[in-house]
Structure formats: structure tokens, C-alpha cells
Amino acid sequence: MSESSSNIIGLLKKQLLDFKTQASTEEVGTVIEAGDGVVRATGLSNAKSAELLEFQNGTLGWALNLEEDTVGAVILGESEGIKEGDTVKSTGRILSVPVGDQLIGRVVNALGQALDGKGAIQSDKYYPVEKIAPGVMFRKSVDRPVQTGLRAIDAMIPIGRGQRELIIGDRQTGKTAIAVDAIINQKGEDMICIYVAIGQKESKIAKIVTELEKHGSMDYTIIVMAGASHPASLQFLAPYSGCAMAEYFLDKGKDVLIVYDDLSKHANSYRQISLLLKRPPGREAFPGDIFYLHSRLLERACCIDKQFGGGSITALPVIETQAGDLSAYIPTNVISITDGQIFLEADLFYKGIRPAINVGLSVSRVGSAAQIKAMKKIAGKMRLELAQYRELAVFAQFGSDLDAGTKKQLDRGARLTEILKQGQYVTTPVEMQVAIIYAVTTGLTDDVTVDEIQKFMEEMFKYLKTSHSKVMTELKEKKELIPEVESALKHAIEDFKIVNKKS
Amino acid sequence: MKTTPRNYAKALAALLKTQPVTAELVQNFVKILRKSHQEKMLNRIVNIAEQILIEENGEIKVDVISASEMTEKNIADLGKMIESATNLKPLISYKVDKGLKGGVKLRVKDYMIDASVSGKIEMMKRSFES
């Protein structure tokens, strides 16, 4: 017999000898009502709020309603196999999910169980799904950017590490596309990404996973899935599980980007559970604590001070509006919680402006604190020019005789609008964004027509990457448009214009 | 304010202490429940009332699940053990569940005391897994 197998046998013998055979005592109750994913049980007189319960068939439940004689619990899984008269026991534990590096690259459900067929998740560390957000003294202000790779966002609605930026818009306006592009652009940025899919079609999630794998993004991404076919309890739990997984990395001083797609479906699942638990319905039949549902989740996104370990969790919650109504109940709740919103409009989408961001209604409350100095220098001018363009464009529709200055401004604005259009899964590094915005705002592209500016931009990116890589590397490292870098960049763009004209 | 099942049960228990169960009593009670649309709670109310009466009589309900048939002596010995531990007279009901493999399980109010072989195997399994 080999040494390793005799060691194993020795360990097993020791465990058997150490095993205590006294009777166990458990607190139990009896199921009196079961159905629609919720259960009512009598007994369990010492059950605590949010305690984990275990049913006779091994399914877990979550005690949410503690009443005089009964406990209302949601079933964390399928409700088949749970019937009236079954015994349910208290576990004495709060709900926790497995966390750790082994989750990276995996698709898991809201309980941290693998769904991708690549084997069970083995973890010795568990984090509670419900946790109080870090206090004021542990936090620091947001001062480092999250580069989404989307020119419109990085220039005008910049997101910082530790910020909560809402992505809001009607259906099919590109909300998920923005979130996925942001994840793709985190390659090489030392960021762990978590995509929490709540109530989404599983075909859509499969497509997202495929795209992320294609771009190599699954090497740093975790997908937490509670699809449309999953019970409401798992859809309700999913964002908190994702946040718990993010907090593991935060505690190690790492930066995390977490996307909650989407919180409208999350609110709907909580409404369903609350109504089934017979909690009193409020406005739009949502329970009274619907605001707290989202506020306690989003407050866990933070930027931690270096003396407490550093690290950050940046949250990108997604909300779907109906007919562009920003004043509805759930949208207004989440807008008031987050540090800004990116508002997507269907009209802009159909006009071909994609991403369909309404710059006027979108805001980032962190602002230029989340931008590199180079971008801060040029983005302010761009924002102003775009605002002037929008005003002038309205008058230009009626007037036919425009002076040269107005025409020039209109053309400049049209060019800026064109360069902000971007294809899906095509992200732009920040140094290239600085280059093109600099080129347009300083008039270097005034001789390029609006129709040709997109092609000009693509060719310029290729040229700068190959022929002036040193300038771009310097810009990327220094993150500032100091005079030498600015003149080198100007020179590079002028060189490109000459080459472009010849070809 | 809605009357809870426990309040109905307390009222029913108080009533049953002073008078016997008659058809008229049952009919009137059901009428009251129907009036407040709580007839579905009847089972629960009766169970709670039974519990209250048992406690007030200085008794305790014990459900015994055994892996094999128990003799009268076994039941009596078990009853004495429970009485000495709780100072309450046990009302024992038992059923056989061969799935326990051996030993017994006792359900007393909200507690389950598991002294069965299957329970110990389960504990051992969890101990190895951890």
C-alpha cells in the first residue's frame, strides 16, 4: 500500500474515532402552505430574520417573514418536492455564497453553484449575501477612472472607480451593450468584472458569454445568472450574491466592476415575493421597502481608503424605462441613489446615433475627478461645442442663410457627433480618444467632411498605432497633455493628414 | 384589527375548558370564522388550541418516530424519561419509519431530537465534507 493511501486511511480512521455519536437537537417547524416559491411554516419559534432554513428534501429557504405563529420563507430553488406537512429546520446560519479566485471565468447561479458545466465550484471561503456597507471613515473620494472604451462616456460622462453610474433607457436602446463594452475594455486594466444577469433571456446571456470569451474577457469576469426561467427568489438574491463575490476582491485591495442587468426585473421579483408573503402593497404594488432594496445594494459599491486596504467596487446598475418615462417609481428611486446616469434614447438610436446617449440628460456627479488630465483638458471644450451645436442646429433648420462662423460651428458639432458614434464590441483606448477629440476640437479636421470623419478617425487610429506608437505610449503613461506630448501629437496628426491625402 | 389565529385558539381553548364539544359550539365557531373570512385557518386554530390545552393541563405532546416497532414497555420507559426531564406528563404518539435504519427521533414542540442511525450517518457525511 502506498504512503499516500495509508495517510488517507489514517486520516479517515482518526475522523471516525473523533466522531461524536450523541443525539442532535434541531429547531424544526412544519410546512402549512407551500407554493409559488414561498412557504409558510409553523414552529421555528427561534428563527431569525434572513436565517437559512432547510426543507426535508434538502432545498434551502430564506426566512423573510417572522409572524406571531408562522414563518414565511422563500424557497431558494425549485418548489417541487416541498409539500404541506413537511418538516423544515433552522440551520442557524445566514445565507452565504462561495467566493474566491476560482469563480473567475465561471457562470454561476445566485447561490454560487456552477451552471457552465465546467465542474462544481470548490471554495473554502463564504461571504454573507447581506452585509452592511462600509462606513464613511473607510471610504475615500473617487479619483481614478474606469475607462469604458466608449468615447461618448469617457469624454462627457466619465465613470470613476467606486462610483455608481446608472444606465437607463427603453428596451433595445443599447444598455447591455454599454455594460458589455465596458467589461471588454477592462482587459489589462487590473479590474475584476462581475456581470449579474437578473431575469434575462438565457439566449441573451449565452450570447454575452460568447462575446466575452471571444475578446478574452472571461479571464477576469464572473457571470452570476438568475435567468427568466429561474425562481423569483434567485432573481431577488442574484445582485446581493454578485456583490458578496465582489467584496471578496475588494477586501484584497482589488478593483471590481459590477453590472446589475437589470434592477427593474429585480424590483419585479421582489414585488412578487412580497405579495406572495402577503406584505402590504404600496405604490404600483411594490412593498414599502423597495427603495431600501436597491439603496443597501448600491451603497456597497465604494472606494476604500488605502490605509484600509484600498480597492473599489464600481457599480453599473441598469434600469429599463417604459416610453422614456424617467419619472416612474423605480427609475426615480435608483436615479436618486446613484452618482449619475447615462440616459439612452430610442429616437437617437433609430437616427443612427449609437450609443444613443442623450448627453443633455446624462450626468456623472463625479465628473472630471474621474478623468485623466489629458481628457479633462479637451473634454470640457468638446462638451461646450456640442451644447452650442445643439442650440444652433435647432435654428439652422429654419434659416437658409448662415454666416461662415455659424456654418463652421455647425460642421464642428456634426463632426463631434460623428466621432462619438461607435460600433458594438469596438472599444477605443483612452489615448486614442484623446487624440481624436483633440484633432476635432483644435480644428485639425476642419477640412474633413462630416461624411468622411468616421473613416478618417479609423485610419488615424491605425496610423498612430503603427507609425507614432511612441507618442501614444507616452500619452497613455503620462496621462497628461504636457506641451511636449501635445506638440508631438499635433505633429503626428498633421503627418497622418498628409499621408491620408496622398492615398 | 384582524384577529389572529392564536387569539381564536385562546378563545376556543378557554371555551373548551368550561364546556364540552357540542355540534352547536362547533357550528357557531365556524360561523364566526366564515364571517371574518378566516375559515381556512380552522385547522391551524384547532392545532394551536390543542397545544394550549395540553400545556395548561401540565402535559407535553411528543411525536416519536422509530425505526422498528416499539413495545409498551419501551414507550413507558420513554415516557418516564421525558417526564423526568421536563416535569410534564408526556402524550406520546408514535409511528414507524424504517428509513431511520435504527434509533428514534423525538419531536417535542419546536425541537427535533435525532438519535437515529440515518441522522448520525448524515452528520458523519457532513463532517467528512467539511
Q: What is the pLDDT of residues A302-311, one digit of tens each?
A: 999 999 999 9
| Rounded average pLDDT over A188-214 | 96
Q: Which residue of A has its CA nearest to B111?
A: A27
Distance between A210 CA and the closest CA of chain B, angstroms: 34
Q: What is the mean pLDDT of residues B8-22?
A: 88
Q: Give yes or no: residues B16 and B67 share one domain.
A: no
pLDDT digits (tens, 9 = 90+) for B77-129: 888 988 888 888 999 988 898 888 888 899 888 889 988 888 888 887 777 66
Q: Are B37 and B73 found together in one domain?
A: no
- pTM of the entire structure? 0.88
Pair B74, B102 in one domain:
yes
How far CA A389 is from CA of A352, A414, A415, in Å, comes to 18, 8, 10
Q: Whole-number mean pLDDT of chain A?
A: 92
Nearest CA to A232 out of A54, A52, A37 is that of: A37
% chain A with pLDDT above 70: 98
Q: Is residue A365 annotated as a catalytic residue, yes or no?
A: yes
**Mean per-residue pLDDT, A38-44:** 92
Calculate mean pLDDT across residues A477-490.
91
**Domain around B64:** 60-129
For residues B118 and B68, membership in a common domain is answered with yes
Q: Are residues B75 and B121 in the same domain?
A: yes
For residues B78 and B112, membership in a common domain is answered with yes
Give the residue, A266 or A381, on which the prediction is more confident. A266
**Residue A118 burial (C-beta neighbours within 10 Å; 0-12, 13-18, 19+):** exposed
Q: Minimal Cα distance from A87: which residue of B?
A: B112
- Residue A429 to residue A437: CA distance in whole angstroms: 13
Q: Is B120 on the interface with A (CB under 8 A)?
A: yes
Best residue of A9, A16, A42 to probe chain B, by most B CBs closer than 10 Å: A42
Mean pLDDT of A231-235: 95
Q: Are residues B68 and B101 in the same domain?
A: yes
- Boundary (domain end) residue, out of B35, B55, B75: B55
Give CA angle at A233 (A77, A111), nearest 5°. 60
Q: Could you say which of A365, A383, A390, A412 is catalytic?
A: A365
By C-alpha distance, the chain A residue nearest B112 is A26
Structure confidence at residue A503 (pLDDT) = 72
For cell 376556543, the residue is B12
Looking at the fold, whether B11 and B65 belong to one and the same domain comes out as: no
B68/B123 same-domain check: yes
- ipTM of this predicted structure: 0.81
For residues B51 and B64, membership in a common domain is answered with no
**Together in a domain, B115 and B95:** yes
Q: Out of B40, B55, B70, pick the residue that ends a domain.
A: B55
* Structural domains counted in chain B: 2
CA of B66 vs chain A CAs: smallest distance (Å): 14
pLDDT score of A242:
98
**Which of B5, B47, B112 lies closest to A26 in CB terms?**
B112
Looking up cell 438519535 gives B115
For range A176-187, the mean pLDDT: 97
Other CB atoms within 10 A of residue A257 CB:
28
- Pair (B22, B41) in one structural domain: yes
Last-in-domain residue among B34, B55, B76: B55
